Every structure is written in C-alpha cells, then in structure tokens.
Amino acid sequence: MADHTLPAPGTTPPAPGAADGTRRRRRAPRAWLGALPLLVFAGICFGLPVGAVVYGAFTTKDTATGVTSATGANVSTSLQGPYLTSLTGSVELSALTALIGTVLGMLIAQAVVTSRRGALRESVLTASGVLANFGGVPLAFAFVATLGISGVVTQYAHLDAAGWNLYSFTGLTVIYLYFLVPLMVLVSVPALDGLRPQWREAAQNAGATTWQFWRHVGLPVLMPTLLGGFVLLFGSAFAAYATAAALVGGSVPLVTLKIADALSGNVQVGQENVALALSLDMIVIAGLVMVVYLPLQRRSTRWLH
C-alpha cells in the first residue's frame, strides 16, 4: 500500500517536479566523480606544465646570488627583435597554409561527398586519416628525396631552373599543406553530409541556380565549419616543429625553432627564461584560437544535426 503523507495545515505542498529536481541535484556530484580521472590527468599533464611556463616566464634567477625575483623582462624580450620576427613568421606561415588548406580541403571533400562510389569515399577518407598524422622528420626526408635539390621530381622536371627551393618559406608551405589538406577533408566531410537534400530540392523548386543555392543556403550553413576548420589548421601549423627543424633549420624564422634554440642554451646571458616567455606567447595565441573555434563548432553542430 502506497504511503501518502498529507502536508501539515498552513504549509505549502511541494511543487510538481521538485522532488525530481532534488534527485538530479543529488546526482550531480556523482557525475563529477566520473570525470574526476580526466580532470586529474588534465591537471597533471597540462596544468602543471602551463604553471611552470607561466612561473618561468615572469621570473628570473640571479646567477651570482641564486635569488629568484619577479620580472616582466622575459615577456618583453620575447616580443622584440628576432623573437618577434619568428613569432610573426609562424603566424604568417600558419595563416597562409590554413587558408589554402581550407579551400583545397573543402573542394576535395565536396567531390568525395557528391561521388556515388563508396570505394572512392572510403579510400579518400582512409588516406586522409593517415596523411593528416604523417609529419615530422619522415615527412621532411620524403620531400627532400622528391623535391629537394637532388630530388627525383626536381631533377626530372628541372624545377631548380624555375627557381624552386624546398628549403624556403614556399617549400615549407607546400610541406605543411601535405598534412593540413587531409585534415580539412576529415573535418569537412561530416559537415557536407549534413546538408539536407531537401534544402537543394526546395531551392531548385523555387527556381534557384546552383550558385544561388550555395550563395544563400550552402555557404551560410557551412560557414562555421569553414571558419572552424581554418582555425584548426592554423593551430596545427602554428605548433608544428619537427618538420621545419629537419628541413629549414633556422633559415625560416619560426617561433618553435626559436624556442628550441633558447632551450639548447643559444641565448644571451640573462635571457635563459625567454624560451618560456615564447612558449607563453604560443599558449596565448593557441588559447585565442580555441576561443574562436569552440563556439563555431557548437554553432555548426546545431545547424547540421
């Protein structure tokens, strides 16, 4: 027999759903407990290194007395002279490769989505998944063997006579596109699949041309994905190091290469923590990238699902 307890005279009965809300509030701490291992992992693997970088960027140690004191000179130095040149060089290279990679990746993804051959789609997506993660020293040596000074393609097509130089800003751009374009394909295909055929049919019934459909329907819906993909490619190119280090060394000013030089001791006396200040600059730029990327991703998901 169910136990129904009447409220005492003069008291207000609980509102419908109040008991459910109370139970949900009681379950909330348990949900956080499930995420506790991930939070601990993130705190150890990301929080501690970031804290060490911030601490080192704003402190300096007197070599004579061993006393550590707070200073803003490291951050100020990282934004001047060759350090600023390397920072702007990384931003320019990342922005250029992200722009080209976004356009090419979207075009390839559109061709894959509109293709009715499942084998082609699976092959392109599988290859994109592999190539998007193919970087570092192996990628650099692969390009040296094909497009270097004595590379097979360079000698066969006489690219050196046309002014081609792999060990330059242009050469580094080509190499970065090798893994950025497949990454954009992987990002774009789900978004293009989300474009509903009913939208195109409705536009055709209304007398719209293909260009008008893309101008007023397709591109506005895909714009968050395009911008989000651009930001993602920018961040990937901005953080790349091994390929550039193996290929161009210090001939192309990049902030990741400058950090490696500073960490190896190739700095002036009193600038030992400039590498940490440069790392802090990269963290700030990456944080700004994520601030832009996450809202765009949520907006794209709301449209396409």
Numbers of helices and strands, H then E, in the chain: 15, 2
pLDDT at 21: 56
> CB–CB of 305/91 below 8 Å?
no
For residues 121, 123, 129 and 135, what is the CA-based torsion angle, rounded to 10 degrees?
-130
Integer Rg of the chain from CA: 27
* Overall pTM surpassing 0.85 (yes/no): no
pLDDT at 217: 82
Residue 305 DSSP class? -
pLDDT at 225: 80
pLDDT at 1: 41
pLDDT tens digits in sequence order for the chain, 305 residues long: 444 444 555 555 555 555 555 555 555 566 777 778 888 888 888 888 888 888 888 888 777 777 778 888 888 888 888 888 888 899 999 999 999 999 999 999 988 888 877 788 888 888 888 888 887 788 888 888 888 888 888 888 888 888 888 888 888 899 999 999 999 999 888 888 888 878 888 888 888 888 888 888 888 888 878 888 888 898 888 888 888 888 877 778 888 888 888 777 776 666 778 888 888 888 888 888 778 777 766 666 666 55
Region of 4 please: left (phi>0), alpha (psi -120 to 50) or beta.
beta
